[in-house]
Amino acid sequence: MHPRRHISPFQFALLIAASYMGFGIFQFPRELVLHAGPDALWGLLLEFAWALAALSLWFRVNRLHPDRPLFAFLPRYLPRSLTDLVAGVTVALHLLLAVVALANFGFLMRTYFLPETPLWAIDGAFVLTAVYIAWYDIAPLARTLETVFTVPALLSIFIGLLLIGRMRFGYALLPTTRLWILPTLRGAYYDAYLFFGFEITMVLYPLVRAEEQATAERYALWAMVMTCAFFLFGYAMVLGVEGPFFLARIQWPTVSANRLVDIEGLFVNKLGLLVVVLWGLMLLAFLALRLWCVIHDVMPSFGSHRLPAYRLWLVTAAALTLSAALAIPSIAPLSQLLMTVVLPAMLGYILGLPLFILAAARFAHRRRPPPRARRLTGTRALGRPRSRLV
Amino acid sequence: MRHWGKVVVGLSLMGLLSGCWSNRPVERRNLALMLGVGPAPHHQIRLIFQIPTRSGLTGLTKGSGASQEASFYLIEGVGATMTDAFAQAQAKTTRDLYLGQVEVVAFSTRLPPTAFEQARNMFSRLGSLDKTAYAVATPSVRRLLALQPRSGELPGIILASNFGCLSCNVEHLERTVWDMETAHYNRGINLWLPLLSAGPHGFEINQMAVYAQDRPVLILTPPETQALGYVMGLTHKGTLTFRWGPHWVALRALDARPHFAMAWKDGRPAIAITLDVTGSLAEYLRGELTPPVLKAVETAAEKDLARRVTAVLARLQQAHVDPVGFGQSWVWFHPTRFARLGSWRQAFAHATISVQVHLRLNDIGDLT
């Protein structure tokens, strides 16, 4: 395709964070409160736990062959047809996530900012910008994120602090002393979309230098911990401002809360809405990463590794995403699609696939012991950082 | 050349999201500053828009006072739904009726519950309506919106600055459209709105309308509003006048910090309210004010204030409404607790309420 460009551990962590933050930030934590009720806080903590555990699990898969993306080494453990099937599902899920995220943000923009602008113009502008971000492959994409990601994050925290004055429902923040298991699980399940996307580590991991991969893992996990803290802060602010019953009825709770921030005398007095627009940068990063991943999953199957081919696939994937997003008529069917199709499919994929691969790898290693050199280092196929092997 | 291509693409993308599709110059828009929702014959809804005139807007921008011309005019629409009423009002003007600048939304107290619900529902769905616009109840929407303040300023601007001024009022009765929505959907609390009347000298805002199921069931008097304001943390410049022997004693600048303790006793809620009040002595005619006498004045004031607060809470209980939201936490964490009594409203009506006041006069003026 083109000369490999390495990314730093920090960029890796940032890309992993960007791969999920732009997806659920707008509708969070509606489903959580709706299904978990007073146990929403426990549901959120459970969600953090599974996300961190799942990311660690994916890193274990990465460590099987740290210098190769998933679909380059998967045929070693699975039949070729099954590998192709998994690759196909992966591509479909990437596109599905991109479509849902794009359509959701398009509806949001139309509702609050651009009521008379056609959706194709809104969605088209975002897709084209995402294509441009991904046009020069991963290294410029990572550098773009480094530049634009921190501003919305810091401003969001600032807006959150300004919302404290509007908190009227602080009682709802108290944790329940009597934990109900089923509502907690339901809340964590229906809100799981918050972390969808970090499985792109399957393609990103090999781009980190071998000696830095352990550091990159650590950074990515810490970035996720910080993201969890960010979401916890957002949860407290939104719940305290909107109240639990009202929150469960709002389409985009975080946006509704941000709209209340009004600083008189400032040039942009509706600072909260500005932050929502800046969250569009997170969506752009999310879209760009999805498109980039789709291509990196597809291209090896076609044996093409050149930049023009990469760009051709990029434009094709973008056009597909845009067309599918525009085919969704309103937010109601989109929410239904998210809850009934995307949620179970992605959750099954994120949690099931790494377990399946690790099991297949263990089985394969038992049948065919790893090379002697690896045995000498004490590696037994699983769970050892690559840095020990190189 | 390649560089220019990027610039062109960038500008095109920005053009797509610039909002020019819906852009209308301000002179082609009717910027409503106040919006009134009232009843109309045959169970219809009347929607009244208060639109500033050019001289009204100019006077506003110059910051000048009186103007010879009216600073606003009204456009009305009537329909079975809010949307119909809006469409009819729009048909009466050649300019685009724009709600993005609405400062005050007034609801008639005579509005049928279904119409009130329709109005609230529409406002919730309108992305262009600023949810921080103030919401008020009024006996007559048309009379309120037709009132021209003597200063010549725009009524919407006067009201917005009045509600936004924390030191201008006895009670902070400002409520927003957002507050209406949260009070409606969240359980264990009843909606209340400030009652805004058109008086002979301008606007009067010292009463509270308490709603139950989208209908005002209780209009509190000004003293009741002030007393309830202590419990709700709204009264910050309260006054208290009571008899002390043959004379009157008057206190001013009363500010309260409320504390609640909730318990469940004998199958019903027990609410203990403690008010820590500070204030100033304004009028006292009976001899020298020694420390024991001052203490006696404080004790008498505590009793009087506790009586007033208890009375207004009893009225709320009789009407089965809880605008304070005592039961919110219970409804959220223990929703089955009220099964025997029905809803929280029923439970609140049967609650035992005790009020304790601790009053300190920290300013008696330059006179002993």
State pLDDT tens for residues B32-64. 999 999 999 999 999 999 999 877 777 654 444
d(CA A145, CA A143): 5
What range defines the domain where residue A322 resides?
Answer: 9-388
Residue A138's pLDDT band (cuts 50, 70, 90)? confident
Q: In this structure, are residues B251 and B237 in contact, taking their beta carbons and an 8 Å threshold? A: no
Report which of residues A178 and A207 the model is more confident about: A207
State the Cα–Cα distance between residues B164 and B175, nearest whole angstrom: 10
Q: Which of B19, B178, B185 sits opposite A260 (nearest CB)?
A: B178
Contacts of residue A259 in chain B, CB cutoff 8 Å?
130-132
Write the pLDDT tens digit of every residue in B200-216.
778 888 999 999 989 99
Nearest to B186 among A121, A246, A260 (CB): A246
Q: Does A2 reside within a domain?
A: no
Question: Is the Cβ–Cβ distance between B96 and B30 less than 8 Å?
Answer: yes
Residue A5 — very low, low, confident or very high, per pLDDT cuts 50/70/90?
low
Of the candidates A125, A168, A256, the beta carbon closest to that of B16 is on A125
Q: Which of residues 22-61 of B touch A (CB under 8 A)?
A: 22
Determine the 3-state secondary structure of B247 from DSSP: strand
Query: pLDDT digit string (tens) for A315-361?
Result: 999 999 999 999 999 999 999 999 999 999 999 999 999 999 999 98
Give the range with max mean pLDDT: A82-96, A256-270, B328-342: A82-96
Please list every residue in chain B whose beta carbon sits closer than 8 Å to the beta carbon of residue A38.
332-333
Nearest neighbour of B13 by CB, restricted to A38, A128, A259: A128
pLDDT digits (tens, 9 = 90+) for A150-195: 788 888 888 888 888 889 999 999 888 777 899 999 999 999 999 9
Average pLDDT over residues A33-48: 94
Q: Which residues of A touch B182 (CB under 8 A)?
A: 168-169, 242-243, 246
Do the chains contact at A171 and B132, CB–CB below 8 Å?
no
**pLDDT classification of A132: cutoffs 50, 70, 90:** confident
* Predicted local distance difference test score (pLDDT) of residue A75: 86
pLDDT in tens, A221-230: 999 999 999 9
Q: Which has the minimum average pLDDT: A64-68, A319-323, B21-25, B177-181? A: B21-25
| Cα–Cα dist B364/B281, whole Å | 5
> How many alpha carbons fall within 13 Å on the CB side of residue A108?
26
For the ranges A121-130, A246-255, B142-151, the lowest mean pLDDT is seen at B142-151
Residue A104 phi, psi dihedral angles, 5° rounding? -60, -45
pLDDT at B334 over 90: no
Whether A40 maps to a domain, the answer reads yes
Q: Which residues of A touch B187 (CB under 8 A)?
A: 245
What is the topology classification, in CATH, of domain B221-363?
A: GMP Synthetase; Chain A, domain 3 (3.30.300)
What percent of chain A is predicted at pLDDT more than 90?
51
Q: In what order do the strands lie in the sheet with B268-283?
A: B238-244, B247-265, B268-283, B352-363
Say if B328 is an interface residue toward chain A (CB within 8 Å).
yes
Residues B113-135 pLDDT 10s:
999 999 999 998 887 788 889 99
Q: Which of A117, A129, A256 lies nearest to residue B19, judging by beta carbons? A: A117
List the CATH number of the domain containing A176.
1.20.1740.10
User: What chain A residue is nearest to B176 in terms of C-alpha separation?
Assistant: A260
Contact A245 B186 (CB under 8 A): yes
Write out chain A residues lying below 8 Å of B184, CB-based: 246
- Of A127, A129, A322, A330, which to mutate for an interface test with B (greatest number of B Cβ within 10 Å)? A129
Distance CA B36, CA B105 (A): 6
Interface-testing mutation among A116, A178, A179, A247, with chain B (most B C-beta atoms within 10 A): A116
Task: Please check the confidence at residue B191 and state whether its pLDDT lies above 90.
Answer: yes
**B262 has a pLDDT exceeding 50:** yes
- Chain segment B78-115, per-residue pLDDT in tens: 999 999 999 999 999 888 888 888 999 999 999 999 99
DSSP of A177-217? SS--HHHHHHHHHHTGGGGTTGGGHHHHGGGB-GGGHHHHH
Does A197 map to a domain? Answer: yes
Q: Which site among A102, A112, A117, A278 would you substitute to test the B interface, given the most B Cβ atoms closer than 10 Å to its Cβ? A: A117
Interface check for B299 against chain A (CB to CB < 8 A): the answer is no
Which residues of chain B have a CB within 8 Å of the CB of A243? 182, 185-186, 328
Of A123-127, B16-20, B43-47, least confident by mean pLDDT is B16-20
**Which value does ipTM take for this structure?**
0.86
Residue A3 belongs to some domain of the structure? no
Residue A1 lies in a domain: no
Quote the CA–CA distance of B72 and B278 in Å, as a whole number: 43
Spell out the domain ranges in chain B. 25-217, 221-363
For residue A179, being part of any structural domain is answered with yes
Q: For a pLDDT cut of 90, what percent of chain B falls above it? A: 53
Please indicate whether, in this complex, the C-beta atoms of A246 and B332 are within 8 angstroms of each other.
Answer: no
Please report residues of B whose CB lies closer than 8 A to that of A111.
127
Q: Do A122 and B329 touch (CB under 8 A)?
A: no
Q: How many domains does chain A have?
A: 1
Q: Write the CA distances from A213 to A63, A68, A144, A226, integer angstroms.
A: 9, 12, 21, 20
Determine the distance in angstroms separating the CA of A59 from the nearest CA of chain B, rounded to an integer: 38
Do residues A13 and A223 make contact, with C-beta atoms less than 8 angstroms apart? yes
